[in-house]
Structure 1
Amino acid sequence: MTGTNRKLEGRQEAVLRQMKGLGLRRQSRSYATNLYDIDSTSQLTIASDAPFEDTTEYGESTVLPSVDCGEYSDASYSEPNDESVSPSTSFSSGSPRAAFQSPAGLSSEDFEFLQAHGLERCSPLKDLGQGGFGNVDLVQISLPSGRNFVAARKIIHSPLYAQARYERELRGLVLCAECPFVVDVYTSRVTEDGQFEFLLEYAPNGTLHDMLKAMEQRRRGKDKLLMPVNRIQYYTACILVGLQFIHKRGQAHRDVKPGNVLMAANGRPMLADTDSMDSVTVTKRAGTTSYQAPELWRASLQGPGYTADKADMYAMGITLAEMTAYPAGGNGKLQQLKDDPVGNTPAYVPADLKDLICGLLAPAGKRLTVEQAISHKFFEGVDWEGLKDGPLGINVQLRQAP
């Protein structure tokens, strides 16, 4: 059955009952029905169920015993040569293993084993998250050297996620293998029953969305920045460098949002979920509705009407506004800021930060590019070369081991 006559189950029925209980009878069933569609196409995020812990303020934590969390090896940001992966290249389940990036400190023998057998010989440790397409769990792989290596296994089993989407996500991950601000992929495969699997870098500190929710609770409704200015500088700078890496290769992420930013062990943010990544000139609308630039909605009616890299920068502006003042879902104030950034940015936001937010949320013709944003005066004094070392230069560890 379709439309408002569709039978509702589970979460949709619960939402319907809740809305009716609040007296929101009008259009409540259509909202609950649409929720099914939203859930069915939502992005799958990798999130820890442990609360985010900012060790600049709070105390001791435990470390994962005798388990190695993969980190990126130091790599230059040089432009790809003729032998590198082309943005137009399609990857299949038989993609060359040499395209994957080896975690730092892993021997060639261990890495070859990780690529060849990591997904078939991994032992599940705990569930990390679920979404409309599948689920993510924490797994451990015993390597030939005797080391125990942990990673995140992403399993996609939705009929809405087809071979083409798998190849697009894998292509994006491999294309960004040298960038420490995009999540790393170690191997992937398509099973005989048509299930898509990725072995990804484990981000023990959840997502930026998780962190913002925790910081909003800590702020307790006070009119002040969600976090110190230097932390906003750091997280924004890392995401911008990741976007610059992507844009320089003629691609756009097309789904920038806090839920798609994973937090590494040292607190370094990393862009994830590259299944929407495509050429900057693509005109088909993609991404999460509340983070889409205004020109994306006009494009479907007027033909080519935007470039996806500019749409990325608008989504970055909303993400920055959430990091600064209004995490998503905050009583409509975020929408007011999007409608009029100049007039509705809170008074407690420093002038340079406000100017950057307004520049990112400006109309497409006046919106800052990633290079202009990186050169903005808000980032004066930022150590761009040291960004990959994290805000503390040491691991930000969870309070409880998996």
Structure 2
Amino acid sequence: MGRSMKVLDGRAAALHDQMKALNLRRKSRSYANNLHEIDSMSQLSVASTAAFEDTTECGDNTTLAIAIPEDYSDCDEELESPSSSASPESPRLAYQSPTGLCDEDLAFLQSSGLERCTPLKALGEGGYGTVDLVQVTLPSGRNIVAARKVIHSPLYNQARYERELRGLMLCADCPFVVDVYTSRVTAEGSFEFLLDYAPNGTLGDMLKAMEQRRRGKERLLMPVNRIQYYAACILQGLYFIHSRGQAHRDVKPGNVLMAANGRPQLADTDSMDAVTVTKRAGTTSYQAPELWRASLQGPGYTADRADMYAMGITLAEMTCHPAGGNGKLQAVKDDPAANLPEYVPADLKDLICGMLAPAPKRLTAEQALSHKFFEGLAWQHLVEGPLSAGFSVELKSAPSVEASMLPVLDP
């Protein structure tokens, strides 16, 4: 990014200044107060050398319709260095906070959400940590549920924590990236996040179920309008990230959560870094070839192009070959034009080929959103749910919690 990143001194004021420099709409001072334990020698811009693996726990699956309003009206100023994937004239998205919380409730979540939450049930457990469903009673009297993510792996260090939080905060107003309420570092050295709960699993979960229902038949994994919708939502999230001068660096179906209303949301931002950081990160099978051979990058290469390659693989999985398709996906990577099945519509095939093209010719997120495959999509209704895209899906809703069922907490 254009701005140089200051070394943190462990004080909330220093992080507050960092967040202001990132044009964050959310109350950066509240977030800064939750990060008082940050190492004084760490930098938000540092890239962790720790190995990355799939730590996606849970999410909700949905379908939305995409919209491209005129301006990021919630931002105070422009970043000095625009992303390589979006020109200064590009349309920019205007989003409201996806939480719908009043200022008092949001401030309470940020300052006390992790300390005052009540565990309801376990959602998942892995080598990195655990995810629980928790309830929080807000000052307004509203009861909400959220996902508490606790990471205790030695592979997840301070720099990686700062990078994940920074990515979540940077995307706080984008409905196509999972929302974070607050975070902290505990006295025991664990890293905790309180996240918006996505009850419908991941896109990867959904694709596996669809493959089982397809029973080996040579046909699209889902209807074209459904592919169009999911792809548009994920690309909208990538466009938002790239226009901020960042790359997600771990795009894959397992890192797309499906929200309560069916909206796909990018998650796991611990790999996110500036587009100028071009070293390998993320999941090997989704990494672009130029990350392994620098000679393939070309002049002015930036890591947002690697995101688009991973998105191309994800789109191929959504179309015909989930989880590799018994080796068929590798053939698509080698020559997508020749090896995509004949039942794939021409426009969709062209879009996938454009995302898997060599780095200098690969589509950007902005170019992909303008592709003819998306003609007729109701962009202005993307955030509203599956029905706005012309199809219905079975959705799980977050559990409701009655106040009478909750334990009494001391003030």
Whether these two folds match at TM > 0.5 is yes
Change (3 A) 1:374 1:75: closer
Distance in 1 separating the partners of 2:241 and 2:54: 19
1:398 corresponds to: 396
Distance in 1 separating the partners of 2:147 and 2:178: 11
Q: Which amino acid is the alignment partner of residue 397 of structure 1?
A: L
Distance in 2 separating the partners of 1:233 and 1:352: 11
1:268 corresponds to: 263
* One of 348, 352, 358 as aligned partner of 1:353: 348
Q: Which amino acid is the alignment partner of residue 256 of structure 2?
A: V
Shift of 1:193: 1.2
1:118 corresponds to: 113
1:46 aligns to 2:57 (yes or no) = yes
1:22 corresponds to: none
1:219 corresponds to: 214
Q: Which amino acid is the alignment partner of residue 280 of structure 1?
A: V
Q: How does 1:158-307 map to 2 (within 5 A)?
A: 158-299=153-294, 306-307=301-302
Shift of 1:303: 11
Shift of 1:266: 1.1
Shift of 1:345: 0.2
Change (3 A) 1:102 1:84: farther
Shift of 1:264: 0.6
SS of the residue corresponding to residue 392 of structure 1 reads helix
After TM superposition, the structure 1 stretch with the greater mean CA deviation from structure 2, 336-345 or 309-318, is 336-345
After TM superposition, the structure 1 stretch with the greater mean CA deviation from structure 2, 122-131 or 312-321, is 122-131
Shift of 1:283: 2.1
Q: Which amino acid is the alignment partner of residue 44 of structure 1?
A: T
- Coordinate RMSD, CA, aligned: 3.0
Contact 1:102–1:186 under 8 Å retained in 2 = no
Change (3 A) 1:399 1:166: closer
Distance in 1 separating the partners of 2:115 and 2:70: 29
Change (3 A) 1:159 1:385: same
2:327 corresponds to: 332
Contact 1:152–1:202 under 8 Å retained in 2 = yes
Q: Which amino acid is the alignment partner of residue 213 of structure 1?
A: K
1:107 aligns to 2:102 (yes or no) = yes
What's the CA shift string for 1:130-189, capped at 9, x where partnerless? 333212111111223332210111111011111111111111111011111000001111
After TM superposition, the structure 1 stretch with the greater mean CA deviation from structure 2, 145-154 or 126-135, is 126-135
Distance in 1 separating the partners of 2:165 and 2:398: 31
Contact 1:75–1:178 under 8 Å retained in 2 = no
SS of the residue corresponding to residue 254 of structure 2 reads helix
Shift of 1:40: 7.5
Change (3 A) 1:153 1:399: closer
Change (3 A) 1:277 1:300: farther
Change (3 A) 1:388 1:283: same
Contact 1:166–1:275 under 8 Å retained in 2 = yes
* One of 375, 382, 389 as aligned partner of 2:384: 389
Distance in 2 separating the partners of 1:249 and 1:204: 28
Identity of aligned residues (%): 75
Contact 1:115–1:187 under 8 Å retained in 2 = yes
Shift of 1:304: 9.0
Distance in 2 separating the partners of 1:205 and 1:86: 37
What's the CA shift string for 1:176-235, capped at 9, x where partnerless? 111110000011111111111111111111100011011111111111100000000000
Shift of 1:80: 3.6
Distance in 1 separating the partners of 2:226 and 2:159: 38
Distance in 2 separating the partners of 1:359 and 1:352: 11
* One of 60, 72, 77 as aligned partner of 2:72: 77
Q: Which amino acid is the alignment partner of residue 112 of structure 2?
A: H
Shift of 1:104: 3.9
Which consecutive residues of structure 2, in runs of 5 or more, have no partner in the other structure?
1-49, 64-68, 83-95, 401-411
The count of aligned residue pairs is: 330
Contact 2:277–2:302 under 8 Å retained in 1 = yes
Change (3 A) 1:304 1:75: closer
Contact 2:62–2:262 under 8 Å retained in 1 = no
Shift of 1:41: 4.0
1:134 aligns to 2:129 (yes or no) = yes
SS of the residue corresponding to residue 169 of structure 1 reads helix
Contact 1:77–1:179 under 8 Å retained in 2 = no
Distance in 1 separating the partners of 2:340 and 2:356: 12
Change (3 A) 1:193 1:266: same
Change (3 A) 1:364 1:214: same
Q: How does 1:146-165 map to 2 (within 5 A)?
A: 146-165=141-160
Contact 1:47–1:128 under 8 Å retained in 2 = yes
Shift of 1:75: 11
1:96 corresponds to: none
Change (3 A) 1:378 1:83: closer
Which consecutive residues of structure 1, in runs of 5 or more, have no partner in the other structure?
1-38, 55-73, 88-100
Contact 2:62–2:259 under 8 Å retained in 1 = no
